[in-house]
A and B are shown apart, each in its own frame.
Chain A
């Protein structure tokens, strides 16, 4: 479960990114976090991944109290969250298989676990047989599937996707979103940050709208309804 309560974040340069944000995300939920550029969405993502510490307010992420978390506990917290980025962030000189196995090595998985888990995850995201390929040999949609596979490979309880379809055409975007919906159906909490109204409106999911660092709407429905 994710809980943000009265979260304020003011950066060192004086920018007030968040001005008292509060919302909860239950286990197994699918949530769209929407809002215009500069609304504070990226800061929320950074708080969820432990990159940024809030100036004030309370943050709980999958049982970790981010207000009291130690440096040593941050990697453990991050293992409960799989992150997907707009620009995929795959390691270009490693194959798909190696990109995934690096993520598993990083959490101390054994070779046996790696060998059995990777084919399963690649099949789940529809990339059977693509393990030996390098990222550059894949299409944008396929690269984002690799990024999703990497986020899933350590079996996190939550997936946080930061503009996952920003670099994809509408058809591939729909495929990625459908894949995330399927992953959510398997029990993983999914938080998708986006500003693509059309895409949000195709899925009947909870939408949390952020504007100028505050929550301006939170409910089931579509982007337009919340506006």
Chain B
């Protein structure tokens, strides 16, 4: 059968406008679902970014054998940098360690003449993945010249737990909202389809194939999904910037780092477009299935 593509587009677009209120309702519901999903995702994303920042600050300290000379101690850097899961490695000399200590604890000028020799040269290591901390620590311990390691696994495990819980919650919420959206859109389109069940029955009576009947509805769903995605994207942008501005101006929340929308607009746009189209087309296909059984 020769499917007339321009006919499908004309029919789909025409149907969308001729059922204006239902189309408006479908778009409104999809926009609301996309906005809720988008907001949850962006909160989860920003929480993850902030956790990553905190992770970066959670360093592993590797102390160097005091019997090694300064040159020998500094020579360990390359060995440590080559270890897997080490993101970066900074050498801290005895003197620097002493200065930091004094700066941190010498409130009463008690340690001002502290001998740097009582400190060890050390390396500050940042890890790529916190969940591999244990094996990385073992690998660092095996490096000749490293005598002691201080790594706070409890804190890193705490970060991992928070990150994992946040991830599971956001994925679950997004999945639930996605199913709810498809259900609502499907029912909204089902209502518009119900209006046209006679039309579908007539088309079947004259020998239209299911594919022929389905295409204008699919196109209509696609169009509704796309329009919803565009509207939701614009609203999400406005909402995100307003919240980011609010956090920036807040006395208590300004510690949080909000990723600028300009940095993430492309994946957000693609996600909204894909979800909008899937929900629109999926909703149409689910809705029309019942009426095709003639």
Interface residues of A, Cβ cutoff 8 Å to B:
49, 51, 72, 75-79, 82-83, 89, 91, 93, 102-103, 105-108, 110-111, 150, 154
Q: Residue B1 at the A interface, CB < 8 A?
A: yes
Is the beta-carbon distance between B3 and A78 smaller than 8 angstroms? no
Is the beta-carbon distance between A89 and B18 smaller than 8 angstroms? no
Q: List 25 A-B contacts (CB under 8 A).
A: A75-B208, A75-B209, A76-B207, A77-B207, A78-B204, A78-B207, A79-B206, A82-B206, A83-B205, A91-B202, A103-B202, A103-B203, A105-B4, A105-B212, A106-B212, A106-B213, A107-B1, A107-B207, A108-B1, A108-B4, A108-B212, A111-B4, A150-B206, A154-B206, A154-B207
**Closest Cβ neighbor of A109 among chain B residues:** B2
Interface-centre pick from B3, B4, B205, B209 (highest chain A CB count, 10 A): B205
Is the beta-carbon distance between B205 and A110 smaller than 8 angstroms? no
User: Per a CB cutoff under 8 Å, which of B7, B18, B201 touches A105?
Assistant: B7
**Closest Cβ neighbor of A103 among chain B residues:** B206
Given contacts A106-B212, A108-B1, A108-B3, contact A78 B206 (CB under 8 A): yes
Interface-centre pick from B2, B204, B206, B209 (highest chain A CB count, 10 A): B206
B3-61 residues at the A interface, CB under 8 angstroms = 3-4, 7, 18
Complex CA–CA separation, A103 to B208 (angstroms): 8
Interface residues of B, Cβ cutoff 8 Å to A:
1-4, 7, 18, 198-199, 201-209, 212-213, 294
Residues of A within 8 A of B18 (CB): 93
Residues of A within 8 A of B2 (CB): 108, 110
Known contacts A75-B207, A89-B202, A106-B207, then 9 further A-B pairs from the complex at CB < 8 Å, ordered by chain A residue: A49-B205, A79-B207, A82-B206, A102-B203, A103-B206, A105-B4, A107-B206, A107-B208, A108-B4
State the Cβ distance, B292 to closest chain A Cβ, in Å: 10
Is the beta-carbon distance between A89 and B206 smaller than 8 angstroms? no
State the Cβ distance, B18 to closest chain A Cβ, in Å: 6
Residues of B within 8 A of A79 (CB): 206-207
Residues of B within 8 A of A105 (CB): 4, 7, 212
State the Cβ distance, A148 to closest chain B Cβ, in Å: 13
**Closest Cβ neighbor of A102 among chain B residues:** B203
Residues of B within 8 A of A102 (CB): 202-203
Is the beta-carbon distance between A106 and B198 smaller than 8 angstroms? no
Complex CA–CA separation, A110 to B205 (angstroms): 20
Complex CA–CA separation, A67 to B282 (angstroms): 34
Is the beta-carbon distance between A106 and B203 smaller than 8 angstroms? yes
Complex CA–CA separation, A107 to B1 (angstroms): 7
Residues of A within 8 A of B201 (CB): 89
Residues of A within 8 A of B205 (CB): 49, 78, 83
Residues of A within 8 A of B207 (CB): 75-79, 106-107, 154
Given contacts A51-B294, A105-B4, A107-B1, contact A91 B206 (CB under 8 A): no
State the Cβ distance, A85 to closest chain B Cβ, in Å: 9
Given contacts A51-B294, A89-B198, contact A106 B206 (CB under 8 A): yes
User: Per a CB cutoff under 8 Å, which of B7, B199, B204, B294 touches A91?
Assistant: B199
Complex CA–CA separation, A110 to B6 (angstroms): 12
Residues of A within 8 A of B199 (CB): 91
Complex CA–CA separation, A200 to B4 (angstroms): 42
Residues of A within 8 A of B202 (CB): 89, 91, 102-103
Complex CA–CA separation, A154 to B4 (angstroms): 17
Complex CA–CA separation, A108 to B5 (angstroms): 11
Complex CA–CA separation, A72 to B201 (angstroms): 16
State the Cβ distance, B268 to closest chain A Cβ, in Å: 38
Residues of B within 8 A of A89 (CB): 198, 201-202
Residues of B within 8 A of A154 (CB): 206-207
Complex CA–CA separation, A75 to B211 (angstroms): 11
